[in-house]
Amino acid sequence: MMLERGSIADRYASLREEIDAAMRSLGRSLGAARVVAVTKFQPRDAIVEAIAAGVASVGENYVKEAEGKLAGLPVRKHFIGHVQTNKARRIAQLFDVVESVDRVEAARALERAAAALGRALPVLLQVNISPSERFGVTPDRFDALLDEVRTLEHLRVEGVMAIAPIAATREETSRAFEWARACFERSGGDVLSLGMSGDWREALAAGSTELRLGTAIFGPRPAKEAIGR
Ligand SMILES: *Cc1c(COP(=O)(O)O)cnc(C)c1O
């Protein structure tokens, strides 16, 4: 157990160093890219350890899983999973930002939930840049979605999130990231959430301001059955 605990802190520290080095070589200012630790299927102990190691933001994909696990933790909570309209209320209650708004119905459900809670809810619009990804608005329909979401009083569009194609070459990944970046530039926001454990270098080169990192921090994910959702 001690070894495992130490390794989260060690991995996070060396990852931060690698990210800073990459930012320096890109001529970008350090601190211009935030790390969101993706904690799906990770036990609460591991999250507590990551927070002790300096993690300030976590990302979760499943509402039910996050509800018990994240309760009371001093960390910024990002919802990065598919937004089901019947879970909008719980998402708006539990999370500080929703990164995965990809259609008008989801946005409207979150708007109603945020209004009922009397809060403003920061959101990112999820752009689909990959044939392997089920969710996200396609780049050609991005502006229409953006226009709709901007009319919703309680949602604040802070930028764009996207997931790279699976098993793509570095060139394909970089090209896909450019599609997301083009949408981001029209969004009026300042958050570009691109980059996971396998492609964060390409993401930083494409201007990402937020990396969503799971396995690079925690190691291989436990099976979801171990947590229950
Ligand atoms: C699981 C997940 C991640 C993290 O993936 P890793 O490859 O473990 O870094 C990032 N973003 C989303 C949307 C995810 O579902």
| Domain annotation covers residue 96 | yes
How far, in Å, from the CA of 185 to the mean position of ligand 1?
Answer: 23
Residue 1 has pLDDT above 50, yes or no: no
Non-local CB neighbours of 110 within 8 Å, separated by 6+ positions: 83, 88, 91, 92, 98, 101, 121, 123, 155
Residue 215 has pLDDT above 90, yes or no: yes
Number of independent structural domains in the chain: 1
Ligand 1 contact via 40 beta carbon (within 6 Å): yes
In this structure, what CATH number is given to the domain that contains residue 98? Answer: 3.20.20.10
How far, in Å, from the CA of 42 to the mean position of ligand 1?
Answer: 12
Residue 4 has pLDDT above 60, yes or no: no
| Domain annotation covers residue 163 | yes
Residue range 133-151, pLDDT digits in tens:
999 999 999 999 999 999 9
| Domain annotation covers residue 229 | no
How far, in Å, from the CA of 200 to the mean position of ligand 1?
Answer: 11
Ligand 1 contact via 133 beta carbon (within 6 Å): no
The boundaries of the domain holding residue 96 are 28-219
| Domain annotation covers residue 181 | yes
Residue range 144-171, pLDDT digits in tens:
999 999 999 999 999 999 999 999 999 9
Nearest CA to ligand 1 atom 6: 214
At 222, the pLDDT band (50, 70, 90 cuts) reads confident
In the 8-state DSSP scheme, what is residue 164?
P
pLDDT over 90 percentage in the chain: 93
Residue 58 has pLDDT above 80, yes or no: yes
Q: What mean pLDDT do residues 96-106 have?
A: 98
Ligand 1 contact via 196 beta carbon (within 6 Å): yes
| Domain annotation covers residue 11 | no
Q: What is the DSSP string of 91-154?
A: HHHH-SEEEEE-SHHHHHHHHHHHHHHT--EEEEEEE---TT---SB-GGGHHHHHHHHHT-TT
Ligand 1 contact via 82 beta carbon (within 6 Å): no
| Domain annotation covers residue 9 | no
| Domain annotation covers residue 22 | no
- As given in the structure block, the two tokens for residue 105 are 């119905």
